[in-house]
Amino acid sequence: MPKAITCLLVCSLAALAQNKLNIEGNEVGENWFFSSPGKVTCVDGSMVIDGMQGPVRAISAEAEYADFELEAEFNVAKTNGVMAIGFMFASTDNERFISVHYDWRSAILFQDIEGEYLEIKRGPKPQAPDTWHTAKIARKGDQLTVWFNGKELFTAPVPTTVGRVGFYASQTVGKLKNMKVRGTVAKPEKPWKDTSKEKIAGANIVQNRAQIIWTKTICKQEGRYIGWPSVCTRKNGQILAVFSGDREEHVCPWGKVQMIRSNDHGESWTEPETIVNGINDDRDAGIMELENGDLVVTWFSSIAYAGATPSTGKVSAKPGTKPFHYQNHFLKLPTDLVKSQLGYFTMRSTDGGKTWEKPVRTEGSANHGGIQLKDGRLMMVGRSSTGADRFLPNDPERKNARRELVVEVSEDNGKSWKTVATISRPPNENVGQYHEPFLVEADDGRLVALFRFHDHDASGKRVPEIKRTHTLRQTESADGGKTWSVLAPTEMAGYPPHLLKLPDGKIVVVYGRRFGRYGEYACISDDHGKTWDVANEIKIAGHFNGDLGYPASTLLPDGSILTVYYQAERVGESPCLRATKWKVLK
């Protein structure tokens, strides 16, 4: 067993007495809570917190404080991440606290409630790595003052919550020494609680309307990027998941549509097989199995990776950078071939995905594809575009193309598609704010579609990510898709949506949240999509950054749900494919 180690935190309490706290190297110390016990050690009198794989917290259990002063010297190792040390206070459990986040460029005061990031104030501050710095925070009443290297940065209002103090490191290995806290010891409203054993992947195991069964990685390509999956269950019980894989990063030229299979209800999966590998970036795949057993896959290809090069014919990126490499790559491609493979497509397989027919163009793009209606038609709701995911800049067809929210139908099992309707939006909103819809046919016969939506301010400018609400927009059809209601906001915050109808008629929508409380979420409708139980929103999985999401769900034979999505396993890694098995409780 590792030997016990000792690190000191000097505490001046109400009576100004000084106490020494011990940290046990192999277990959570009597006077400390460690979110990852093996990641906190003591070396040469300094507390060392290894936050390279995600934030690691060390919270003092000595006392809870009202007014206080917390100070320390710290040093962060140079990494490619934010290189952050956090000074925590008002901690009521391991997921609820307020913190001053000292990273390489800012001091950010924020409140964290189960991973929901609520910024209060920030100030600029250069922080050199591999250098010792001093920092101090002090709360008096409802005001917190922040110092760095002896200089006062700012004062801001904060909650007066009584709680514990502590530190964390994120995307670095941080060292802290001469840690001191002085303050008024007070009794909290509730005893401090460790909630980590009640969760799987950052989500409560038991929630008001759901129970999480497991979460696991189902496909990981070392050093490569995976994104934007969809999933379906075949009549023979096999589950198929499709995605854009073998990528270099979020936007690059190398995307391929790949597929994996599970023959044991999602417990294990085959290695990826590539089903689309065109000259452009192939992205955002959807999949469905038809009543006759045919498979229909959707995707789109893009040249967005090339930036302005398709318009100018020149390379504008800085030499040696990835964009420079991508733009040079684009200039070497045959224009006719790029054009022939650029746009939105579907393709069919009649042999379970062993072979695939020639791709068929569609007018709109829908990242999760379409559905088969009770009358046998295939229907897909999407958005048509005139951008780099459909046209070359000098393409004459681009001038006559429209940007609309379109409804397309196939009456021959995906061999051809035709646009049968468009969907109206409020007059103060534009098509460019709507993205990546999906639909479901409710048991009452209505068609319900949800869209990803991006906020704009009064001047029409895109709202900064941290201030967006991103509530899903909804439209409905009561005549089989001929006409649709004007899009209206819901209270569900996230994107993009995927809808699944359960055997009892309930509808489940899943979506990712790339802002605030990162992760994958779900809501249930008990009335065929007329209303959504946002008050009992389900958290499927949490995450540490916003490069995540595009969840899609399928029903398992035991009545549980398998939701597949993309996000990284660890800080510093590229995203992989993850899955959560869960069930609706009521």
Residue 244: burial class (beta carbons within 10 Å; 0-12, 13-18, 19+): buried
Q: What is the pTM of this model?
A: 0.81
Q: Is the pLDDT of residue 387 over 50?
A: yes
- 496 cis-preceded (ω within 30 degrees of 0): yes
Q: How far is CA 105 from CA 52, 90, 98, 122, in A?
A: 18, 24, 19, 10
Share of the chain above pLDDT 70, in %: 92
Which residue type occupies 449?
Answer: A
Q: What is the CA radius of gyration of the chain?
A: 26
Residue 483: burial class (beta carbons within 10 Å; 0-12, 13-18, 19+): middle
Q: How far apart (Å, rounded) are the C-alpha atoms in residues 470 and 475?
A: 16
Which residue type occupies 147?
Answer: W
Q: Is the pLDDT of residue 258 over 90?
A: yes
CB 296 within 8 Å of CB 348: yes
- According to DSSP, the β-strands at 96-102 and 203-204 are unpaired
In DSSP terms, 179 is beta-bridged to 9
121: Cα within 13 Å, side-chain hemisphere: 11
CB 452 within 8 Å of CB 472: yes
pLDDT of 28? 40
Q: Phi first, then psi: give them for residue 465, nearest 5 degrees.
A: -50, -45
Which of 189-203, 262-276, 316-330, 335-349 has the weakest average pLDDT?
A: 189-203
Q: Is the pLDDT of residue 4 over 50?
A: no
Q: Is the pLDDT of residue 156 over 80?
A: yes
Give the tokens for residue 246.
Answer: 């073998």
Q: Is the pLDDT of residue 295 over 50?
A: yes
Cα first-last separation, the chain: 46
Mean per-residue pLDDT for 50-66? Answer: 91
Q: In what order do the strands lie in the sheet with 32-34?
A: 32-34, 56-60, 164-170, 84-93, 96-102, 106-113, 116-124
For residue 289, name the pLDDT band (cuts at 50, 70, 90): very high
pLDDT of 547? 94
CB 109 within 8 Å of CB 210: no
Task: Encode 484-512 in three state secondary structure.
Answer: CCCCEEEEEECEEEEEEECCCCCEEEEEE
Cβ-Cβ contacts under 8 Å for 438 (sequence gap 6 or more): 366, 368, 381, 449, 450, 496, 497, 498, 499
Specify the residue for token string 């992760």.
519
Maximum Cα–Cα distance across the chain: 82
CB 68 within 8 Å of CB 84: no
Helix (H) or strand (E) holding 11: strand 9-12
Q: How far apart (Å, rounded) are the C-alpha atoms in residues 400 and 423?
A: 19
Distance from the Cα of residue 146 to its chain's centroid: 31
Give the tokens for residue 146.
Answer: 């922040």
pLDDT of 24? 38
Which of 44-48, 401-405, 465-469, 557-561 has the weakest average pLDDT?
A: 465-469
Which residue type occupies 391?
Answer: F
pLDDT of 237? 97
Domains of the chain plus CATH, in order, are 9-194 (2.60.120.560)
For residue 405, name the pLDDT band (cuts at 50, 70, 90): very high
pLDDT of 464? 55
pLDDT of 114? 62
Mean per-residue pLDDT for 217-221? Answer: 97
pLDDT of 3? 31
Mean per-residue pLDDT for 323-329? Answer: 97
String of DSSP letters for 352-367: TTSS-PPPEEESSB-T
Which of 223-237, 250-264, 365-379, 424-438 has the weakest average pLDDT?
A: 424-438
- Bigger pLDDT: 135 vs 463: 135
pLDDT of 186? 95
Which of 235-244, 265-274, 469-478 has the weakest average pLDDT?
A: 469-478
CB 292 within 8 Å of CB 351: no
